[in-house]
A and B are shown apart, each in its own frame.
Chain A
């Protein structure tokens, strides 16, 4: 017995899956049509302060573009950016026919995060049976990201920051859903270990055809509250090395600051200037 191929059989696919996936993608495109820039914030590893940088950058952007900045927390398992932006997390999200209203954080930043959905202190959990989760969990997480992009009433935004989970593949998943992605910012610590991880993430992003906007080196030294002198906290120069390796700008070096002391004026502004 010989079979024809799928494409040899000329009729439409009875499952309707391809059409539905196409409609889902179109919905995301349509939703983001009123968003001028979509920027991914990524790192190769956890613990580099990616969400902190996202939140501070969003605050700075909101000063420039009041009520026209959004943050999508794509770190579904470890959401933090909503609290960093002082959004109320115990309140219900309102679902309208046109989509879900985002929460509002400091500076009028519009936020969507699993933080709003989960019981306090509880991990992200699925309704489906725990067995064999590895088979479908990735698809489900991609669907959540898609709905966060396409089913939220983001409105007219100058900038939507997407705080990605640690790792190298999240940005490519995002790019699949958002082909008009403006680009990606990479956050690193000064250390060699961080450099290696972030280099992998940057390589993956470049291989996918994503524009690399630049590197931000976080926790780049400590500024003494009393004498004002700066000293290194971590060994290494990951920021400078990544810049040399990938030919992209070092947009900022963020020092550890005494509690309550803001970053020098202009630091975040330079990052915003790098976004076309």
Chain B
């Protein structure tokens, strides 16, 4: 999809995306000439349709994880997957971070089917930035930085 600023006859550029709630997907586009912004608001059905393709509007900031759609979409056994890279062999560069109780509690609310994948994403984010302890604030920051809406 492309957004055209009619005033400037200029193609608008993707700025940011959010999932503010109730299944709505929001993507903001900005005109590079006049700075005018518009927001695309997709209803839950449209949001799901795009999500079903395994793509992120505006592009990805993080490589797709193996079986990302399967793990995120199928309601299956809690322990259907285990992640091989949860130890020192993960993707991140620094030492393995610790998890604050609040962050751990929040992680525990993630469905077990996909929890390992989510944990690795946050852990790699922290390791790459030299963050020793993952807190809910770090998780929020990672969501924004990595475009992890819904995690």
A binding-site residues for B, Cβ under 8 Å: 1, 3-4, 6, 9-11, 13-17, 19-21, 24, 90, 92-100, 114, 116-119, 124-129, 132, 135-137, 139-140, 143-144, 146-148, 151
Cα A132 to Cα B23 in complex, Å, equals 13
Contact B82 A92 (CB under 8 A): yes
Q: Known: A11-B11, A13-B1. Contact between A136 and B45, CB under 8 A?
A: yes
- Residues of chain A within 8 A (CB-CB) of B27 are 15
For residue A147, which residues in chain B have a CB less than 8 angstroms away from its CB? 54, 66-70
Q: How many residues of B contact A (CB 8 A)?
A: 52
For residue B82, which residues in chain A have a CB less than 8 angstroms away from its CB? 92-95
Residue in chain B with minimal CB distance to A76: B74
Q: Are A92 and B52 in contact (CB under 8 A)?
A: no
Distance of A126 Cα from B85 Cα, bound (Å)? 26
A93 touches B81 (CB 8 A): yes
How many angstroms between the C-alpha atoms of A146 and B64 in the bound complex?
13
Instruction: Flag if B58 contacts A136 (CB, 8 Å).
Output: no
Would you list 23 pairs from A and B whose C-beta atoms are within 8 A, ordered by A residue? Answer: A1-B6, A9-B11, A11-B11, A14-B29, A16-B55, A16-B58, A17-B55, A90-B77, A93-B80, A94-B81, A94-B84, A95-B66, A95-B83, A95-B84, A95-B116, A95-B117, A96-B66, A96-B84, A98-B66, A118-B76, A137-B52, A146-B69, A147-B54
What is B's interface to A at a CB cutoff of 8 Å?
1-4, 6, 11-14, 23, 27, 29, 44-45, 48-60, 64-70, 72-77, 79-85, 91, 111, 113, 116-117
Query: How many Å from the CB of B45 to the closest CB on chain A?
Result: 5
> Once the chains bind, are B66 and A99 in contact (CB under 8 Å)?
yes
A80 to chain B, nearest CB (A): 17
- Asked if residues A20 and B45 are in contact (CB atoms below 8 Å), the reply is no
Question: Roughly how many angstroms separate A239 CA and B126 CA in the complex, as a whole number?
Answer: 61
List chain B residues, Cβ under 8 A from A90: 77
Q: Which residues of B contact A6 (CB under 8 A)?
A: 2
A4 & B4 in contact (Cβ 8 Å cutoff) = yes
In the complex, what distance in Å separates the CA atom of A12 from the CA atom of B17? 18
Q: Given A9-B11, A127-B72, A132-B45, are A16 and B60 also a contact pair (CB < 8 Å)?
A: yes
State the Cβ distance, B134 to closest chain A Cβ, in Å: 20
Contact B2 A14 (CB under 8 A): yes
Minimal beta-carbon separation of A122 from chain B (angstroms) = 8
Contact A139 B75 (CB under 8 A): no
Contacting residues, chain A, for B113 (C-beta < 8 A): 117
Smallest Cβ-Cβ distance to A10: which chain B residue: B11
- If A14-B29, A15-B14, A95-B117 touch, whether A135 touches B1 (CB-CB below 8 Å) is no
Smallest CB gap from B10: residue in A = A11
Assess whether A143 is in contact with B83, with CB atoms less than 8 Å apart: no
Lowest 4 CB-CB distances: which A-B pairs, in order?
A16-B59, A139-B52, A117-B76, A14-B14
Would you give the shortest CB distance from A59 to chain B, in whole angstroms? Answer: 26
If A13-B2, A14-B12 touch, whether A144 touches B70 (CB-CB below 8 Å) is: yes
A15 B1 Cβ-Cβ under 8 A? yes
Taking CB atoms, residues of chain B closer than 8 Å to A126 are 73-75
Option from B77, B79, B84 in Cβ contact (under 8 Å) with A118? B77
With both beta carbons as reference points, the residue of chain B lying nearest to A4 in the complex is identified as B4
